[in-house]
Structure 1
Amino acid sequence: MTAPVTVTRTAGTINGANWVAEVPANWGGTVLLWNHGIRLPSSTDRSAETSPTGTDGSAAADLLAKGYALLGSSYRSQGFAVRDAVNDDLALLASFRRSHPATTRTIVWGASLGGLITETLAEEHPSMFVGAAPGCGVLAGAVPIADQTLDTALMVKAILLPPLKVGGYASNAEAAATASTLQKGVLALLGNPATQTGTVGRLLAIATLQGLPYQTDNYNGASLSSLAGAAAQGVLTQASAAILNSRDSILKSGGVVATNVGTSYAAKATAAAIARFQSLGLPGSLLRSYAATIDRRVTRVAASSAARAVARLNGAPTGVVRIPTVTMHTESDPFVTASNEALFASRVAAKGAGARVLQLYVKAPAYADASATSAGAPYGAG
């Protein structure tokens, strides 16, 4: 830990977005522009953040001690606010540079949704930054994660909670009540000796078919009960996200974005998925059976092609990377899975930009559990 330095902290509001700037006395001219993760549409948290907070506290102290200025916005809106965040970041950065003409370099970074915002800024405005560091980013883009979380919710409905309402909520309150019903329903099944074994099997099947981790921040996966807890956490996290963000998605895009029309759940039982399931001591035939059952029972949800096109404007990394970029992803993120990195890497390779990208994987149980020191490592913190 480095010695603390005197820091000048200023704050304000631009276009409805709150912001905070922290400039150390030993500032060398480099600014780190931070982007926080998603906040639910119903959230009243309007605070601006300048760095992540992990298991070892905030990365801010080390970064400030090393002479970096820290900058962050609350964004003007909640939910999947990529476009608002990009505009608010640009306005904030312009204002900061006017008041701090000694600014020489800016690096953009962020986590989860903030990782997607980071990459969007880097791709669309490369001349404004010397580097980018998206952490646990939604680098597959807005549409793929909407489809994935919808899939998870519909799979729960198909083989665990048939009465579950997925979509079509009249209010955020109804969506919140539905998410609560989901959580309580699955936990009740797990707590009932008569349904516990079958529920664990179904949760592990959904987690496997969806590529969700067997280890999270709360469960190390070292025992059957821990595996069940990890699977439940991942499945409930994704399914709840589909429910709680559905209205915001429609409002921002003008229609239903997520769809499972044309999805084959049986096809999700790949050789790799079966091998992973079998590593738990469970038969591959059971996974294939669950996948086939889901295909027969699942509700099909159609999307608006126009809404999907609008959603892509809210975040769809192209792989056109023009500045040095370091991504970091925990292998056991239960929400934004590490598969986002593979898809991003394929896009980067297709654009011939691989030399500008370094992808790092961390074995911490989940991105929220990763240390702030590791998050700040690309900048020499820790």
Structure 2
Amino acid sequence: MTTSTSELIAAKAAELGFDACRFARVDAPWTAGDRLQQFIGHGRHGEMAWMADTAERRAHPNAMWNGARSAIMLGVNYGPDTNPLEALAHKDRGVISVYAQGDDYHELIKGRLKQLASWLASRFGGELKVFVDTAPLMEKPLAAQAGLGWQGKHTNLVSREFGSWLFLGSILTELELEADTPETDHCGSCQACLDICPTRAFPAPYQLDARRCISYLTIELKGPIPREFRGPMGNRIYGCDDCLAVCPWNKFAATAREQRLQARDALKAPALAELAALDDAGFRALFSKSPVKRIGRDRFVRNVLYAIGNSGEPRLAAEAERRLDDPSPLVRGAAVWALSRLLPAEVFADLRARHVPAEADGDVRAEWA
């Protein structure tokens, strides 16, 4: 029996540790570019200016590389071994998104993609380019086009085989490869992902307002998080998995087999008191090889202090009070908010009287108001 080029590529991808491999025509028509323009036109990208800056190249894969003919879409399963929603009940602990509890997936997948690309070039020739979530390529609609899954009502990819837990990588190539059938939408009437969102970040099914999304707020937003979202954040300190974890298709998901993607013990619901005490060196040590490291210590401790404010644990007020003298205004402001939630009014007023006269930063002074 003759083995096709696509079958050979899929076999090699499996050998290299990819859990899924499908193919799409790059020149196929799609509506993803129009949806992106609407998203940006409504300002729903927030401070992610790079999305608007690269919108023209993101509009269609051919807009970025006109020579591409086929896309090889690859997936790596990162399924957790427990339900991420369970950690939300432990208010003195922080919840880090599943994808960030292990090693940075970018480096892992990029390495495998380069191995596959090298093999492809030597075996079949032709120019190619590899992508892992960092270039202006809309990977989720391309993955749906290739049949890896479909974009659910929460706009994330859903797989019948892996549920919500699939990292994506892609290779664009000049090769003319046989395309797989696009996956159909299997959400039906379910809208569990929309209903569970703590900040109501979905204006409508299949639409996201990033400005209201906890993942955006805790990772992308550089300044203080708007007050209306601080309470709904709960103890989520880096990202949010609610809309992913609640999806019924997760009943088919399996735990990640790649050891480096499995959660480190230190990042499974870590104690907020310990995280609030991190200095820059401690932060870098704890999150070595982790995607969390990219937001920096100050933004991370900001998130931790908001979680402390939501904990309902007066004993954690001491950790927040220690941060009132932090070098970072962002951290000091978050500490003030946490204390306003945990301390009796008269104790908070006494703190205000002692700290406001010496506080030079206007944003922090506003938190005391």
TM-score, normalised to structure 2, is 0.28
Larger radius of gyration: 2
TM-score, normalised to structure 1, is 0.27
